[in-house]
A and B are shown apart, each in its own frame.
Chain A
Amino acid sequence: QITLKESGPALVKPTQTLTLTCSFSGFSLNTSGVGVAWIRQPPGKALEWLTLIYWDEDKRYSPSLKSRLTITKDTSKNQVVLTMTNMDPVDTATYYCARRRTTSGRWAFDIWGQGTMVTVSS
């Protein structure tokens, strides 16, 4: 069974740095054709892709947030870590991690974590 689970603080203050961890099981980030992404969703709003790391350490970032984001992986622990600096109330959202995998040569976010709600407030 493939699962992903996000963990981290529920509340951060403005200007602080957010660190979220995605712990996964049932697959390996050493396997070709696999990546883990972070996607967020403000309350009542649409989904927004943030960043992704592939099995080969290739990383992709949303241009609008690139200066604030860092994604890393620890293959031995089956974890992916997201760091977002200079948090603002507009960053209040549910943050999801999701596996990105290729099926028949096409990529998709096929398995998602349950999400973790992060509120930015003083």
Chain B
Amino acid sequence: DIQMTQSPSSLSASVGDRVTITCRASQSISDYLDWYQQKPGKAPKLLIYAASSLQSGVPSRFSGSGSGTDFTLTISSLQPEDFATYYCQHNYNTPWTFGQGTKVEIK
């Protein structure tokens, strides 16, 4: 199985900050990488697919980059509604696996 490792596990940031979350795959996955946002008690929501494609309806302050084994999710200007946990997930082959999550908290 391909292991997905996110860093940091949590971070504290202020509204307006630029936030970057990293995801590393245990082997090359090309750009078969998605990002999800999950708020407490809610289902995950797709933000980014294919490493850098913005899902319809997702604000443009979210962006993704990377290929191979190293990927990043960037929030250009953190908004109050962005405080949540973010997960990466690979689509390279089955089993599709998720990272352990990065919790973005209010500073």
Residues of A within 8 A of B (CB): 46-49, 60-64, 96, 98, 103-104, 106-115
Contacts and interface: CB of A to CB of B under 8 A. Distances in A.
B22 interface: no
Interface in B70-101: 87, 89, 91, 94-101
Is the contact region of chain A dominated by helix, strand, or loop, or is it mixed?
A: strand
Is the contact region of chain B dominated by helix, strand, or loop, or is it mixed?
A: loop
Contacts of A46: 87, 98-101
A115 B50 CA distance: 25
Given A108-B49, A112-B43, 9 more contacts: A49-B95, A61-B94, A63-B1, A96-B44, A98-B43, A106-B32, A108-B50, A114-B42, A115-B43
B45 interface: yes
Contacts of A103: 49, 53
Interface residues of B, number: 24
Nearest to A105: B50
Contacts of A64: 95
Contacts of A114: 42-43
A68 to B, nearest CB: 14
B91 A107 contact: yes
